[in-house]
Copies of this chain bind each other. A is one copy, B any other.
């Protein structure tokens, strides 16, 4: 059975944390009833995107993994017999937090976790304040539906991360995401940003000959700082092993986006486009340098 039925859950979130969880649990149930065996949620889906400001008090949102919060999602995976990708603000120790994606097996066990390796820090995305960069590296997670290369949001701009997951045997790249527009930006800039975001992720499918799932949130979230805010742009999508768009969501609506992934196409595409055959690993050594000229 090489066709994997997946579902991308694109949601808006509010300050009512329990309502966010209930909304996700309902979507998981609905996706499973529609036949999904892999369900992917967006980044930090239990709260508003709190990194718009630097506030030590917001670290109270962080939870242990496993813990009571992730147990609710583990139970949803088990009850609905789906492999589930969630994303949490992980409290590893007092004062030590990560942005962590978690994969639950269809029996509710924790298949693995990925701690976001590339951490952004830009106006309205002050993630370096909250999250210690991941220390687990880039490793695909084995599940009953295949080997999953889980990466998170800012990671999506780094071809190195996608490549390492492919070299680790990943059969699909999965990007839980929270990205949106600055409402003050001109329309042309907004379009360039959205197109770049789609393009770079489709390119990971192309370069590595495997499908990509990217799940973003929707909705406007005002900034606690009082002005600005983020218009999350949705557009969750699935691309096939040649980068072709298989499914895509709207910019503004809550949606469950189903997609069938033909995992047998990975090898078919890699036979006609044998990029992995020809990598010049003898000449790639400087990729571990910050810059070359100094």
Residues of A within 8 A of B (CB): 117-120, 122, 133, 137-138, 154, 157-161, 163-164, 167-169, 192-193, 195-196, 199-200, 202-204, 206-207, 242-244, 272-276, 278-293
Top 5 A-B residue pairs of the complex, sorted by shortest distance between their CB atoms: A203-B203, A159-B159, A167-B292, A196-B206, A192-B242
Cα distance A286–B122 when bound, in Å? 29
> Do B279 and A160 touch across chains, with their CB atoms under 8 A apart?
yes
Instruction: Tell me, in angstroms, the Cα distance from A164 to B290 when the chains sit together.
Output: 10
* A137, A157, A168, A196, most chain B CB atoms within 10 A: A196
CA A160 to CA B158, docked complex, whole Å: 11
Closest to A240 in B: B192
Whole-angstrom distance between the Cβ of A148 and the nearest chain B Cβ: 15
Q: Report how far A161 CA is from B289 CA in the complex, Å.
A: 14
CB pair B275 A281 closer than 8 Å = no
**B-chain residues with CB within 8 Å of residue A161 when the two chains form the complex:** 280
CA distance A112 to B271 in the complex (A): 35
CA distance A159 to B158 in the complex (A): 9
- If over half of A's interface residues share one DSSP class (helix, strand or loop), that class is named, otherwise mixed; here it is helix
Partner of A193, one of B195, B242, B289: B242
Residues in chain B near residue A244, CB distance under 8 A: 192, 195-196
Of all chain B residues, which has the CB nearest A139?
A: B292
Given contacts A117-B283, A118-B280, A200-B206, contact A273 B243 (CB under 8 A): no
Q: Which residue of B lies closest to A168 (CB)?
A: B292
Q: With A192-B242, A192-B244, A291-B167 as given contacts, are A137 and B203 in contact (CB-CB < 8 Å)?
A: no
Which one, B133, B274, B292, contacts A169 given CB within 8 A? B292
- 13 further A-B pairs in the complex, CB-CB below 8 A; given A199-B243, A203-B206: A137-B283, A158-B280, A159-B163, A159-B203, A164-B286, A169-B292, A193-B242, A195-B242, A195-B243, A196-B206, A196-B243, A202-B203, A287-B287
**Complex formed: what's the CA distance from A284 to B285 in Å?**
10
Q: How far is the CA of A119 from the CA of B118 in the complex (A)?
A: 32
Closest B residue to A280 using CB positions: B117
With A203-B159, A278-B118 in contact, do A288 and B290 touch (Cβ < 8 Å)?
A: no
Q: Among the listed B274, B276, B288, B293, which residue makes an inter-chain contact with A284, where contact means beta carbons less than 8 Å apart?
A: B288
Knowing A281-B288, A284-B288 touch, does A293 contact B203 (C-beta < 8 A)?
no
Distance between Cα atoms of A274 and B290 in the complex (Å): 13
Check A287–B288 contact: CB distance below 8 A.
yes
- What's the least CB distance linking A244 to chain B, in Å? 5
A122 partner, pick from B192, B242, B274, beta carbons under 8 A: B274
> Which of A160, A161, A272 neighbours the largest number of chain B CB atoms within 10 Å of its CB?
A160
